[in-house]
Amino acid sequence: MISFKLNFKKNDDSPKPGDLKKNGKSKPEKSKGAQAGTPRKKDILIPYVENTSKTLVKNNGIENDLYVKHDVKRGLRNSNGTGVVVGLTRIGAVDGYKINEKNEKVAVEGKLYYRGYDVEDLVKNVISEDRFGFEETSYLLLFGELPNKKQLAEFTELLGSHRELPVGFARDMIMTAPSANIMNKLARSVLALYSYDPTPDDLSIPNVLRQSIELMGHFPPLVSYAYQAKKSYFDNESMHIHNPLPELSTAENILRMTRPTGEFTKLEARLLDISLMLHAEHGGGNNSTFATHLLSSTDTDTYSVIAAAIGSLKGPKHGGANAAVLNMILDLKKNVKDITNHKDVEKYLIRVLKGEANDGSGLIYGLGHAVYTISDPRAAILKGMAKELAVDKHLLDDFMLCDFIEKRAPSLYKEVKGTDKPMPANVDLYSGFVYNALNIPIDISTPLFATARLSGWCAHRMEELIAGKRLIRPAYICVQKNYDYTPIGKRK
């Protein structure tokens, strides 16, 4: 283990490309005192964008009735809330409702299938056999069939052999340009890997498969090193760098590389492994996977596709929701002295729904889903494992807090907002608890989601290249009326 602290200089006094020049030599800028009264570019820009943004809002608004008039499937959603069918897939299926003869959604217990296998069966099997399952899940998603022992061992060894990043990559691409947001750094790192690939634009399936396996191997150190750089530069904390070990599983390497001592228990690694399994795939219609299909249909390179998927997952309405749960729980604990006092917790949740607490969004994070109506199978699996972890970590009060939110918050939605929309606990509620119990920083909660979902993204990318073979090109109706051109001298 290497433990050290980098002292980055945030105010570098060295000459910049834009400095004044005299006799061919760079001349440093004058001090702030000498520049008094001369506004800098950024000082001019801020009031400009604040004023002109009002014009943007005025000229980009579209009336709701126009969407109805033109029968637009806003958000690619049908009028009954179901998703518009835009493709076919063999990789994953999400069952959360049925459609009756009246074209109405009928609530059913949620089910999630990977390549036709119930994810609950996959998890139960690895638990009963006391082994890690994420690598097997990744193989299943990529190749469409369960591996035998030899195939799994070979695939796991391949992933382990590609944990190490290219020579100098961590120093040049991560440590010298840290980011306050690990998802941002992850996307930039993936794009940078393009330059280290001898055949980055080759779209043959063997080459794309090679790229996929290499990326799956690289993601744990990419996330871990980006987090360590962020800690040093932005949080003023010590950096702890651990090399990945090829013989360890994905979950074990993540825990090893993100913790100062690199130590972890078997229970911790197994629970993180199951969490990765549950996040690996969620059908072709989720935003980041659809982005994978969308970009793959253009025949662009693998690195551009995965970077775009990361950008999609970063959004708080998608993968960023697990971080939102963690932040909400932190805010709850600041405002409720005793989290076992359910009356006080309920008062807090009501304030959240009214937009008076937490982030003002009016949302209780960890509840509701676009597809699941009665239950999210991933949440049910994680809840069972989370309780075991809660006992081990002496966090039963925190676990019971999540249990209370799951049971009481849906009825509060109806009481406060008058909505009858189903609000089952989703995977983010208990994955947030699990990450907190595992001392996984909020900063890497969504990057871990990306690490898991990478398997599904790569599988969908290859499916698009093999079966899609058509540029995805949806249509937009322009509702802007036409004008005659006005010469500049006659404009108001």
Q: Hey, what are 206's tokens? A: 């063997």
Query: What is the per-residue burial (b if ≥16 Cβ within 10 Å, else e) of 21-34?
Result: eeeeeeeeeeeeee
Instruction: Name the active-site residue from 240, 279, 369, 460.
Output: 369
Evaluate if residue 31 carries a pLDDT over 70.
no
- Identify the band that residue 103 occupies on the pLDDT scale cut at 50, 70 and 90: confident
Question: Which of 180, 175, 210, 176 shows the shortest CA–CA distance to 196?
Answer: 210
More confident residue, 28 or 265: 265
pLDDT at site 130? 95
**Contact by Cβ (8 Å): 241, 225:** yes
Per-residue pLDDT, averaged over 426-438, amounts to 91
More confident residue, 322 or 11: 322
Give 439-471 pLDDT, tens digit per residue.
999 999 999 999 999 999 999 999 999 999 999
- Residue whose structure tokens are 């939102």: 324
Domains annotated for the chain, with CATH where assigned, are 322-437 (1.10.230.10)
Give 380-410 pLDDT, tens digit per residue.
999 988 888 999 999 999 999 999 999 999 9
pLDDT at site 20? 36
DSSP states of 173-230 as a string? IIITS--SSHHHHHHHHHHHHGGG-SSTT---HHHHHHHHHHHHHHHHHHHHHHHHHH
Question: How many Cα atoms occupy the beta-carbon half-sphere of 288 within 13 Å?
Answer: 32
How far is C-alpha 449 from the chain's CA centre? 5
22 forms beta bridges with 25
Put residue 103 in one of left, alpha, beta given phi > 0 → left and psi -120 to 50 → alpha. left
- Identify the band that residue 317 occupies on the pLDDT scale cut at 50, 70 and 90: confident
Evaluate if residue 304 carries a pLDDT over 50.
yes
Evaluate if residue 12 carries a pLDDT over 50.
no
pLDDT at site 38? 52
Evaluate if residue 180 carries a pLDDT over 90.
yes
Question: How many Cα atoms occupy the beta-carbon half-sphere of 86 within 13 Å?
Answer: 26
pLDDT at site 35? 46
A 10 A CB-CB count for 325 gives 27
Portion of the chain with pLDDT greater than 90, in percent: 80
C-alpha distances in angstroms, 372 versus 106, 127, 219, 293, 408? 11, 25, 29, 23, 18
pLDDT at site 18? 40
Per-residue pLDDT, averaged over 18-23, amounts to 40
Return d(Cα 7, Cα 25) in angstroms, integer: 29
pLDDT at site 320? 84
Return d(Cα 189, Cα 184) in angstroms, integer: 9
CA torsion sign for 303, 306, 310, 312 is: positive
Instruction: Name the active-site residue from 240, 428, 443, 460.
Output: 428
Give 115-124 pLDDT, tens digit per residue.
999 999 999 9
Q: Which amino acid is at 85?
A: V
- Identify the band that residue 370 occupies on the pLDDT scale cut at 50, 70 and 90: confident
- Identify the band that residue 39 occupies on the pLDDT scale cut at 50, 70 and 90: low
Question: Which of 231, 234, 220, 156 shows the shortest CA–CA distance to 189?
Answer: 220
The yes-or-no answer on residue 369 being catalytic is yes
Pairing of β 92-99 and β 105-114: antiparallel
Give 126-172 pLDDT, tens digit per residue.
999 999 999 999 999 999 999 999 999 999 999 999 999 999 999 99
pLDDT at site 406? 96
pLDDT at site 40? 64
Q: Which amino acid is at 20?
A: L
Per-residue pLDDT, averaged over 225-240, amounts to 95
Which residues fall within 8 angstroms of residue 53, CB to CB, at 6 or more apart?
none
Return d(Cα 89, Cα 399) in angstroms, integer: 37
Evaluate if residue 312 carries a pLDDT over 90.
yes
Mean pLDDT of the chain: 90
pLDDT at site 15? 40
Return d(Cα 103, Cα 80) in angstroms, integer: 8
Exposed (0-12), middle (13-18) or buried (19+): which is 168, by Cβ within 10 Å? exposed
Evaluate if residue 4 carries a pLDDT over 80.
no
